[in-house]
Amino acid sequence: MKHFIQRLTLLCLLVTISGFAQTHTVSGKVVAFKRYALNKVKISAKKANTVVYTDTEGNFTITCNKKDHLVFNAAGFHNQKFKLKGEKELDVNLIAVLEESAYRDVVRFEHLSKEKLQYGLDNFLEDNNNFDQLATIYDVIQFVYPQAKVVDLDTTDSAEPGAFGATGPQIILDSRGVNSINSSLYALLVVDGIVINDISGVHPIEVKTCKVLMGNEAGHWGMRGGNGVVEITTKYQ
């Protein structure tokens, strides 16, 4: 009986030590428009089942597992999820939902003052994204429009060049097939108001806005926009 108790005590000790070994602390700051600290943002660790909130300076510290999943939630902003790989520091730029009702929620839940929110929308809208964290312009498009399919004309034998002399990788937005009189599968690619065939030279860090237009939204491009339009505005415009 004595040996059994000793073994049980040792086992409990090992379990406790193992539990402490899994404990991990992550600290960071949450902002909007890549500059304004966000207050009262909820941060949840899914595996550790812990929850904390940012302070008035946007700072937070949360105890979680090394490979936990953190979720950042604030009214009026898109949720963001991060899969940890042992990081101890994590700075987050939340993306504002561009709707009037969302703006009211941001102020009502005291995440950001009305004055800072309006100034950010008027002057720093190009920073209301995380495009700079993506590898290519095609990743940006798929981030904005997840259904978008990238077709590399250099490696896809079945892909016919578009009616506009497409050369680089092209984008298919509508899975239903050809909608344009030009018999092209591909979306119209527009950078700073100019139709171009190859957008591979556009770097994510240069992108101010990226819009995907379908149906009536693309009507101002006429028949050329029959398969959708990708409108990219750079910070250099």
Lowest mean pLDDT, pick from 102-106, 180-184, 187-191, 215-219: 180-184
Structure tokens at 45: 């660790």
Lowest mean pLDDT, pick from 1-5, 69-73, 214-218: 1-5
Give the pLDDT of residue 175. Answer: 58
CA distances from 140 to 68, 105, 199 (A): 26, 27, 12
Question: Residue 45 in contact with residue 68, Cβ under 8 Å?
Answer: yes
Structure tokens at 137: 């312009």
Give the pLDDT of residue 17. Answer: 45
pLDDT in tens, 104-123: 999 999 999 999 999 999 99
Q: Which residue is it, tokens 């309006």? A: 118
Question: Residue 153 in contact with residue 161, Cβ under 8 Å?
Answer: yes
pLDDT in tens, 68-108: 999 999 999 999 999 999 899 999 999 999 899 999 999 99
Distance, CA of 134 to CA of 138 (rounded, Å):
9
* Strands across the sheet containing 194-195: 194-195, 188-191, 229-234, 207-213
SS3 assignment, position 116: helix
Q: 34 falls in which pLDDT band (50, 70, 90)?
A: very high
Question: Residue 185 in contact with residue 164, Cβ under 8 Å?
Answer: no
Cα-only R_g, the chain: 24
